[in-house]
Amino acid sequence: MYLVYIREAHPTDGWQVGSNRRDGILFEQPKTFAERVDVAAKMCEKLEIDLPCLIDNINNKVGADYAAWPDRIYVIGTDGRIIYKSGPGPRGFRPDEAGKALAGYLRNRIPETP
């Protein structure tokens, strides 16, 4: 599993939300890839995320291609095919559905041992 970090959803120079101000999550929208890497690293550290983090380029291609903003859950097969796509998060997240899709995919890919 991987986390893919796309553009900042609530930057200080954009649509900032009260909970971010209250929690001290205050970042401008990154202007360079290096800045985006830095913000993504800080986000993973603050949220104690231990998944490997892939980072969308500054041109936001992955975010656009996957309609990922502000956030979504995807299950993508090893062939690149989309197995599951959630609604926009967090209200559209259905972890049980994503888990079932992943389990079904893995069940069909891994032969059972006698």
The pLDDT score that the predictor gives to residue 8 is 83
Residues 47 and 65 in one domain: yes
One pLDDT digit (tens) per residue for the chain, 114 residues: 788 888 888 888 888 888 888 888 888 999 999 999 999 998 888 888 888 999 999 999 988 888 877 788 888 888 888 999 888 877 888 888 989 999 999 888 766 655
- What pLDDT is attached to residue 30? 93
Whether residues 11 and 36 share a domain: the answer is: yes
pLDDT at position 37 is 95
- Does 66 lie in the same domain as 14? yes
Q: Does 64 lie in the same domain as 11?
A: yes
Q: How many CB atoms lie within 10 A of CB 90?
A: 10
Q: CA 71 to CA 69: how far, in whole Å?
A: 5
Please work out, in degrees rounded to the nearest 5, the angle formed at the alpha carbon of residue 66 by the alpha carbons of 62 and 72.
110
pLDDT at 112: 60
Structural domain boundaries enclosing 107: 72-114
Omega prior to 70 cis, within 30 of 0: yes
Answer yes or no: do 53 and 83 share one domain. Answer: no
Distance CA 63, CA 13 (A): 19
